[in-house]
Chain A
Amino acid sequence: MVERRRPVKLVLRNVSKAFAGRNGSVTALEDVSLEVRQGEFVCLVGPSGCGKSTLLNLIAGLERPSRGEILMDGRPVTGPAPERMVLFQESALFPWLNVVHNVEFGLKQKGVPARVRREIALYYLEMVHLRKFAGAYVHELSGGMKQRVALARALAADPDVLLMDEPFAALDAQTRDILHAELQEIWAATRKTVVFITHNVREAVCLGDRVVVLTYRPGRVKAHCEVALPRPRQIEDEGLLAVVAEVTASLRGEVMKALNEELNERVEGHEPAKAGVLRRAVGALGSGR
């Protein structure tokens, strides 16, 4: 594929992250190595709690790895910077600013003059089809609109890398489909490098050039699946199914591990009712449904 010839943008080399918790330390990530090429759209999938958000925060520079190193363009990541913008699961827009001021925020921090800043902000709001809402306040927007504003805000800072942490998880299916289309369009136009986290295997295959499967705690890279399908793709495309099956098969074992672990905790914690439900779920998954 084209991406093979592109330079490497992000390198994670043997990255581990442990958190000191109340009952001992939790190893969220262990020995994760990953390369992302410039302009590549990489999706990360893994069971809940496997360390996906942690991985993203590490790349963003919001957390420091316990071991290993993270490089961007060959230089170590030492802290957050606007060249790596994050889209959080909740939009994290600032409620004290209106839409256009939210989008301008990063530019203002860079010291871009007010008139230029406004022009850039409106350009990106146009890109996400929300120019009309430039003067609205955050609480006046729907969930989908918020995520679009957050996307415009991230793009306005003109980052090299977009880090997206389940940005569409809280949206209804129709809104999500529309945003999938918009995101692919914008990505094709801007050619940003994207690292996209999701629970949803179909979403991952629909959006990604490559899907990376993480194992359950501690998170490791379990598999890479290339998605060599033509774009733009839609989530219900038949062509996706083969790759979806491949990723799902790889993921299933990890989800079972996660459920089993929780099941044991429930039994120990004397919650037989919930344990029963979980046991049936694990059984169904194990039989390949």
Chain B
Amino acid sequence: MNLRRLVFFGALLGLWEAAARAGFWPPYIFPSFSSVSRTLLAGLWDGSIVLGVVVSLRRILLAYSFSAVVGTILGLALGRIKALEDTVGSLALGLQTLPSICWLPLALLWFGLSEQAILFVTVMGAVLSITIATEAGVRSLPPIYLRAGRTMGARGLALYRDVILPAAFPYMVSGLKQGWSFAWRSLMAGELLYVNLGLGQLLMMGRELNDMGQVVAVMLVIIGIGVVVDRGIFARIEQRIRSKWGLLA
């Protein structure tokens, strides 16, 4: 974290605290930073926020890993088989334009008010981005890598594992990242709308109890998770690939 950023966020929090204390708005409209922090700590202490985090993370991990596997396999198939590209490929492109939370009513009819429904919506958020990016990666694969791999004896599954997949990986990472953020958004939206437990539900509970402190505290937690995954995981993977492949500016 550089100094400029530190000063900026310090000032922002100070301003927030000062504005809240000035008393223009009542605390249930505009809570102070200190009261939000207290709620956050209390929520962590009594376990309610921890439980929400655990439940939401469990859901996203399940849905996301499923999406990663299915999306990768689908993308490889679409990229390698012309007949699939023209058919399933354009279907995927079309469905991709649909915000995945729009699948919720359908999921509710199919699965009822259940865990499966929310997982379905989350999967629909991630799987198409991953599929499409993988397909693009396979399609842009220089044929010379395939030729080199085949002359060195890579065939069948080994050709996919050792040549096609690693060659497509830089493309896939952008799809995996986008898939993650779509999935995370869909999950939060789904939890807000109905599901029990999870961060989204904590947000709604805060609203129902008129507890603005809780609302803002949970929002901060959601932002925190997003930043950790984005900076801590995806940015690192991208950085590693760039230095390996020599794609640094």
Let me know if B166 and A81 touch, CB within 8 A: no
Let me know if A94 and B166 touch, CB within 8 A: yes
Let me know if A96 and B151 touch, CB within 8 A: no
Chain B contact residue count (CB 8 A cutoff): 20
Identify which of B144, B152, B163 contacts A85 (C-beta below 8 A). Answer: B152
Let me know if B246 and A108 touch, CB within 8 A: no
- Chain A 59-102, CB within 8 Å of chain B: the 1/0 string? 01110000000000000000111101110101010111100000
Q: In the complex, A261 Cα to B171 Cα: how many Å?
A: 42
When C-beta atoms are compared, the residue in chain A nearest to B142 turns out to be A92
Do most interface residues of chain B lie in helix, strand or loop, or is the interface mixed? helix
Identify which of A62, A81, A86, A96 contacts B167 (C-beta below 8 A). Answer: A96
Let me know if A95 and B148 touch, CB within 8 A: no
When C-beta atoms are compared, the residue in chain A nearest to B165 turns out to be A96
Let me know if B245 and A95 touch, CB within 8 A: yes
Q: In the complex, A90 Cα to B148 Cα: how many Å?
A: 11
Given contacts A105-B162, A137-B244, A139-B245, contact A92 B148 (CB under 8 A): yes
Q: Smallest Cβ distance from B145 to chain A, in angstroms?
A: 7
Let me know if B245 and A96 touch, CB within 8 A: yes
Identify which of B144, B169, B246 contacts A90 (C-beta below 8 A). Answer: B144
Let me know if A96 and B244 touch, CB within 8 A: yes
Q: Which residues of A contact B167 (CB under 8 A)?
A: 94, 96
Q: Smallest Cβ distance from A112 to chain B, in angstroms?
A: 11
Q: Which residues of B contact A92 (CB under 8 A)?
A: 144-145, 147-148
Q: Is B236 part of the binding interface, using a Cβ–Cβ cutoff of 8 Å?
A: no
Q: Which residues of B contact A174 (CB under 8 A)?
A: none
- Chain B 121-156, CB within 8 Å of chain A: the 1/0 string? 000000000000000000000001101111111100
Q: Which residues of A contact B29 (CB under 8 A)?
A: none
Q: In the complex, A88 Cα to B150 Cα: how many Å?
A: 13
Q: Is A219 part of the binding interface, using a Cβ–Cβ cutoff of 8 Å?
A: no
Q: Is A44 part of the binding interface, using a Cβ–Cβ cutoff of 8 Å?
A: no
Q: Smallest Cβ distance from A72 to chain B, in angstroms?
A: 13
Q: How many A residues are at the interface, by size bracket?
A: 20 to 34
Pick the most buried of A61, A80, A90, A96: most chain B CB atoms within 10 A of its CB: A96
Q: Is B13 part of the binding interface, using a Cβ–Cβ cutoff of 8 Å?
A: no
Q: Is A287 part of the binding interface, using a Cβ–Cβ cutoff of 8 Å?
A: no
Q: Which residues of A contact B244 (CB under 8 A)?
A: 95-96, 137
Q: Is A109 part of the binding interface, using a Cβ–Cβ cutoff of 8 Å?
A: yes
Q: Smallest Cβ distance from A96 to chain B, in angstroms?
A: 4
Q: Which residues of A contact B162 (CB under 8 A)?
A: 105, 108-109
Q: Which residues of A contact B152 (CB under 8 A)?
A: 82, 85, 105-106, 109, 153, 157
Identify which of A62, A95, A137, A139 contacts B147 (C-beta below 8 A). Answer: A62
Q: Is B158 part of the binding interface, using a Cβ–Cβ cutoff of 8 Å?
A: yes
Q: Which residues of B contact A138 (CB under 8 A)?
A: 246
Q: Which residues of A contact B151 (CB under 8 A)?
A: 60-62, 80-82, 84-86
Q: Which residues of A contact B245 (CB under 8 A)?
A: 95-96, 137, 139
Q: Is A270 part of the binding interface, using a Cβ–Cβ cutoff of 8 Å?
A: no
Q: Smallest Cβ distance from A85 to chain B, in angstroms?
A: 6
When C-beta atoms are compared, the residue in chain A nearest to B168 turns out to be A96
Q: Which residues of B contact A60 (CB under 8 A)?
A: 147, 151
Let me know if B148 and A86 touch, CB within 8 A: yes
Q: In the complex, A153 Cα to B169 Cα: how many Å?
A: 23
Q: In the complex, A57 Cα to B1 Cα: how many Å?
A: 54
When C-beta atoms are compared, the residue in chain B nearest to A140 turns out to be B246
Besides A62-B150, A96-B167, 6 other CB < 8 A contacts? A80-B147, A82-B151, A88-B144, A95-B244, A95-B246, A137-B245
Top 3 nearest A-B pairs (CB, nearest first) are A139-B246, A106-B152, A109-B153
